[in-house]
Amino acid sequence: MHKKINAALISVFYKDGLETLVQTLHQHQIHIYTTGGTQQFIEQLGIPCIPVESVTDYPSILGGRVKTLHPKIFGGILGRRNLAQDIEEMKQFQIPEIDLVIVDLYPFEETLAQTNEENLIIEKIDIGGPSMIRAAAKNFKDVTVLASKDDYAQLNKLIIDQVGCTTLAQRKQFASKAFEVVMHYDIAISNYFNTQTTSLRYGENPHQQARFIGNLAQLFTQLHGKELSYNNLVDADAAFQLLNEFKETDSQFFGIIKHTNVCGAALRASGIDAWNAALAGDPESAFGGVLVCNGPINKEIAQAIHEIFFEVLIAPDFDAEALEILTQKKNRILLKNLQSHGLIKNEKSIFNGTLIQDADQGNYLAWQEVGGRECHESEKHDLIFANILCKHLKSNAIALVKNQQLIGKGCGQTSRIDALKQAIEKASQFQFDLQGAVLASDAFFPFDDCVTIAHHQGITAFIQPGGSIRDQDSIKYCKENQLAMVITGMRHFKH
């Protein structure tokens, strides 16, 4: 239902864009209650406003820490207009009805980015602002709330078009945005208190500033090397995510990460064999990579690894002889991982907000054999391994595996067929025989071209999520050529 705005409370840190909205409120005869700097701003516009002190009979105290935290302010925001008892109490205690709350928050994150001085950071933790925003959002049936200057123009238009009124749906939408603003603000503060903030030399590139918020000491101990860079941390995180896939295997796993993509990986009975096989998969891309394994590093493995240049090595343990060898390079980063690192949620900053999703956990929902024959036992093991590795490649992605070794991969391509051609070219570059190899795809085959090309190279089994309206094209080709194909029902896009 439409509700007329008769009184507004405005208390903002940033005044950008506020002038037009305040003038519109005044033109619609909406009373304005306000505080401190906002009061001065509005008065300079020649618009009358009511200081909250005249409502509360209390001045701003404790250096401005307490201004609006008063029953007359919160009663005016939280009072339920359809509840007789609330209306009676508001009259009894002379509490004015507040129909619109426009509040932004102290710039906590901006301050955190500019200084490490604790006193300055603490003073930018807003108390009254979040409280008023939450109160107004809770009472959205009666109160409109704006928690961001980005919404000034929208509200200004609504007030003009709807003659000073808002609808219930509009108020609920504003409330939803307000709770998101407060949630993001509280998380930033919680991160500051519960984690460590580390300034990094620079970001992804030298001209970008960067910092890390978190407690790396919970995950690993740095035994040697230079300070971890932004790119080191990004690749190390990708390595930890990959390692988490093999925490329950009895085999020794070695993986090589470059720009968050798996460029070498193998499962073997011994650590040295796993390393040699992982490196052989793409010794060129391994240069400057991040290495990760699920077993201890001994002298033999250390001697082999020492021969190449790498940025980071992650392992559950290092023996003394291995450390003596590996620490000969002063900048080489050695990390002893203390626990598995499996994300529950993924977050990504986009536009003026944050995308949050469940982490990509699991590898297949079903194991549906749809080809011309069932997988051989060795093929099944290779398909499972390939599917895991493909999950850790940027889309569009193809992984080629033979004997539990990554022998070709295509990633970050704009078409699946290009990813396949890249994978085949990589395998050929290092003289791998694709006869009897298997192929994993992070998403469905839209046509049968990938299966056809792969088959002509000697690949005999495929694993993919399915879901294309033309799934039958690839399935039919596999049936006609006695090729194995597994549909998993689980896509693994990675952007």
To which residue do tokens 């959002």 refer? 137
Catalytic residue (one of 15, 28, 138, 476): 138
341 in active site: no
Alpha-helical segments (H) within 331-490: 377-391, 416-429, 449-456, 471-480
Taking residue 350's Cβ as centre, other Cβ atoms within 10 Å add up to 7
| CB 290, CB 312: distance < 8 Å | yes
31: CB partners within 8 A, 6+ apart: 6, 7, 8, 50
State whether residue 85 is helix, strand or coil: helix
Please tell me the distance from the alpha carbon of residue 68 to that of residue 11, in angstroms, as a whole number: 9
| CB 87, CB 93: distance < 8 Å | no
259 in active site: yes
268's enclosing H/E stretch is strand 261-268
Using only the alpha carbons of the chain, give its radius of gyration. 30
Catalytic residue (one of 259, 306, 336, 479): 259
Q: Is 463 exposed, middle or buried (0-12, 13-18, 19+ CB in 10 A)?
A: buried
| CB 8, CB 99: distance < 8 Å | yes
Q: What is the dihedral of CA 418, 420, 426, 427, to 10 degrees?
A: -160
Please tell me the distance from the alpha carbon of residue 346 to that of residue 421, in angstroms, as a whole number: 30
State whether residue 389 is helix, strand or coil: helix
State whether residue 193 is helix, strand or coil: helix
Q: Supply the residues annotated as catalytic.
A: 138, 259
